[in-house]
């Protein structure tokens, strides 16, 4: 096998990793859905998960499969104007009525007529593409989607499905945002979509993949070093790439033909610093103060798993008072329920971060 040059790990949002770990079942189901033709359930997929869990690269992988089947693939981010961008990608010409998708037009007056005209154009373009070998649309970051555009796309999707068009759609976004969006009763197409919730990767798969990836670049690694890296990655896809990247680099700087425990320690330390600033800090920044306080109280609890009663006591509130914060955090996949009346952090290193920065949050 030809040896790869350069660092194989890709700790960058949206960049395909050297190996897509733990997603075989999802990809196989999608493949089956394409094989089985219009109407197969996995042709409409809603992917949710916290930052860095691998939503975008999963969309990339779905796109690769769809291309194998001769589908045209359109990838768009769901911020304002996405319907227009899909139309442009399909027709390779700017839409005449691009202005009609301004968010101020919430389906009233003249605006709604323009909007439905625009939707019809979009629907027609999608139908045409589906007839030329199939069409997959991936919509990423759906937490940013203007609700009227999402509804517009949804109407057209429903029409295409009724027409048994050869289409597939995959949506991805942060968990709460996705739930909020489908909570809006007009978005039934999202409620019907198969829900894929991305969470931790199994350690054995992470360890195996790290070993393979190191070896493919000519670096020997023994099981105990791989175990150190696997532990540090904590099943979190972005952390797998960070740990791999900085450890590989540490070995490379020594001109090393192997990865030592010392390389791993250096790599893990640098990975942790990056993970804090690129994942944990942004998650906390998005949260309302009370939810951050809830997390802080969790971090300060000594019991494992953490008792929700103890968290509430620390906040000086009743369990009932804190239940809405807890629910929001669980919905956002930041914490998880582990048993009756107990919770734990779902994002690695969040507890350590909160304790180290407690003063900033108080
Ligand atoms: N299954 C996987 N196996 C290995 N690495 C992965 C996997 N999924 C994602 N990664 C890596 O994790 C990082 C984050 O992936 P990605 O950008 O897809 O996450 P995301 O969920 O879209 O994050 P965000 O919410 O910030 O957009 C990338 O460096 C990517 O290469
Ligand atoms: Mg992403």
* pLDDT at site 175: 80
Is the minimum distance from the CB of 267 to ligand 1 under 6 angstroms?
A: no
Domains of the chain: 24-197 (3.40.50.300), 203-283 (1.10.8), 287-361 (1.10.10.10)
How far is 37 from 287, CA to CA, in rounded Å?
42
Is the minimum distance from the CB of 18 to ligand 1 under 6 angstroms?
A: no
Q: Strands, DSSP E only, in the chain?
A: 44-48, 72-77, 135-140, 167-173, 194-197, 220-221, 258-259, 306-307, 335-339, 342-345
Mutating to test ligand 1, I would choose from 57, 171, 211 the residue with most ligand atoms within 8 A of its C-beta, which is: 57
pLDDT confidence bin for 183, thresholds 50/70/90: low
Query: Model confidence over 218-253: pLDDT tens digits?
Result: 999 999 999 999 999 999 999 999 999 999 999 999
pTM: predicted TM-score of the whole model, two decimal places: 0.87
Q: What is the mean pLDDT of the chain?
A: 89
Q: Is the Cα torsion angle 65, 68, 71, 76 positive or negative in sign? A: positive
How far is 197 from 150, CA to CA, in rounded Å?
20
Query: Model confidence over 104-135: pLDDT tens digits?
Result: 444 444 455 555 667 778 999 999 999 999 99
pLDDT confidence bin for 181, thresholds 50/70/90: low
| Residue of 350, 334, 142 lying closest to 325 (CA atoms) | 334
pLDDT confidence bin for 182, thresholds 50/70/90: low
User: Ligand 1, atom 30: nearest CA belongs to which residue?
Assistant: 17
Q: Is 210 a residue whose pLDDT tops 70?
A: yes
More confident residue, 208 or 105: 208
């Amino acid at each position: 096998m030809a040896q790869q040059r350069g660092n194989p790990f890709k700790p960058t949002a949206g960049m395909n990793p050297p190996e897509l770990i733990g997603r075989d079942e999802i990809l196989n189901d999608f493949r089956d859905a394409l094989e089985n033709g219009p109407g197969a359930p996995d042709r409409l997929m809603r992917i949710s998960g916290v930052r860095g869990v691998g939503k975008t690269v999963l969309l990339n992988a779905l796109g690769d499969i769809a291309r194998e089947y001769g589908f045209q693939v359109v990838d768009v981010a769901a911020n304002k104007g996405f319907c227009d961008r899909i139309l442009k990608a399909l027709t390779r010409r700017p839409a005449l009525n691009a202005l009609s998708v301004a968010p101020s037009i919430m389906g009233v007056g003249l605006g709604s007529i323009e909007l439905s005209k625009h939707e019809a154009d979009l629907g027609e373009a999608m139908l045409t593409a589906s007839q030329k070998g199939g069409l997959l649309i991936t919509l990423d970051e759906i937490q940013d989607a203007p609700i009227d555009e999402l509804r517009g796309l949804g109407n057209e999707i429903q029409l295409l499905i009724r027409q048994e068009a050869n289409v597939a759609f995959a949506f991805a976004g942060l968990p709460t945002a996705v739930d909020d969006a489908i909570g809006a009763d007009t978005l039934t197409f999202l409620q019907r979509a198969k829900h894929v919730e991305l969470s931790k990767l199994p350690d054995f798969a992470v360890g195996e993949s790290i070993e393979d990836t190191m070896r493919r670049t000519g670096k020997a690694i023994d099981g105990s070093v791989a175990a150190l890296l696997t532990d540090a990655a904590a099943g979190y896809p972005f952390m797998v790439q960070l740990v791999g990247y900085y450890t590989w680099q540490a070995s490379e700087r020594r001109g090393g033909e192997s990865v030592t425990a010392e390389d791993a320690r250096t790599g893990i330390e640098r990975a942790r610093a990056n993970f804090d600033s690129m994942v944990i800090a942004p998650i906390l920044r998005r949260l309302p103060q009370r939810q951050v306080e809830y997390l802080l109280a969790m971090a300060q609890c000594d019991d494992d798993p953490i008792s929700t009663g103890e968290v509430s006591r620390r906040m000086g509130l009743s369990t009932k008072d804190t239940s809405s914060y807890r629910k929001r955090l669980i919905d956002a996949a930041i914490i998880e329920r582990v048993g009756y009346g107990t919770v734990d952090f779902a994002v690695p290193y969040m507890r350590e971060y909160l304790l180290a920065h407690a003063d900033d949050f108080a």
